[in-house]
Amino acid sequence: MDWNRELDRIVEEAELESMYGQVSEIEPELDFQLKRIAEHYGEGANPYRAGCEETARSLLIRILSDERLKEIHSAKYRVKTAESLIGKCIRKKAELPRLPGEDWDVEKYRPLCGDNYYKVITDLVGIRILIRYPQQWRMVHEWILDVFAPWKQDCVKDWEAAYPEEGAGNFLAEQPRLYVRYGNEISAYLVDGELPFRPTISKEGYCSLHYLVWYEGHYAEIQVRTIFDEAWGECTHDLVYNRHRNSGNRQELERLSVCLAAQTQSAGMLASLMYDMAFPGEDREEPAADGYLAGRIFKGPALQDEERR
């Protein structure tokens, strides 16, 4: 494979020409490091991506086979493609300020190279759990806390130093994250009067819980959201973010996406009210019928990358 030609294709299709040029001026070895990443991740007799695929399948089956999660709507997984990984490397490098700062979510990508990319980019494996009603987040939250050992750091600052040793058990890598549309939504996620998440207000209308876990030798990001928020995300991804950035109606589409997010919140609130009316005084609904696993496991090629990390 002609790597230079392949890299040009990735950059052009992702509309990263400006970012790529910006990073290339600062890091002369950018092309070489990106090639090393692509080769290690997706080529050779034992590519790293193959191990990620095994981990993703194993975790998904565990989720869908656990009786405690039989009330979820569905779950799916995705493993980043090599093209998506290269694009993310370029974007994250371009977002770095000239001088190092203390925004660890940004600074984690400064030392990114072919030797450590799998230690720094922690969403190569993505799992998405969809719930029908907003209240059901607690069910999934409790399951995750039971399956994974608690986090030792609220926010990891040195991902290379924190990379687990071989044979490490399953654990939460850092404090889970909460993305909501409005600040007054945060109180719905309190546990015993305290917030177990790092909250972020999303101007775009994004609403989800993110858990970064270490599972069977790989990092995996578990996202939990309602079917309403998933529908908004799919629509926005297909009709807004997949459009060329220089499209004439891009800004109008973004405004409509924010309006749709408000309607999505209303739908979730109505579903939540109906849930409380249907099950007054109960913490959770009755278990679903047997056979809940059938038809709910599928690989999601359309599962978009949420560049939130």
pLDDT at 32: 97
Burial of residue 67 (CB within 10 Å: 0-12, 13-18, 19+) is: exposed
Please give the pLDDT value at position 290: 36
Distance in angstroms (rounded) separating the CA atoms of residues 284 and 141? 13
Do 246 and 240 meet the contact criterion of CB atoms below 8 Å apart?
no
Asked if 127 and 63 count as a contact pair (C-beta separation under 8 A), the reply is yes
Q: What pLDDT shows up at residue 99?
A: 92
In which band, very low, low, confident or very high, does the pLDDT at 174 lie, cut at 50, 70 and 90?
very high
Model confidence pLDDT, tens digit, residues 221-270: 999 999 999 999 999 888 887 666 656 787 888 889 889 988 998 998 89
The rounded percent of the chain whose pLDDT value lies above 70 is 88
Q: What is the pLDDT of residues 21-74, one digit of tens each?
A: 999 999 999 999 999 999 999 977 789 999 999 999 999 999 999 999 999 999
85: pLDDT strictly greater than 90: yes
Average pLDDT value over all residues in the chain: 88
pLDDT higher than threshold 60 for residue 289: no
pLDDT score, position 143: 98
According to DSSP, the residues that pair with 194 across neighbouring strands are 191
Predicted model pTM: 0.87
Per-residue pLDDT, 285: 39
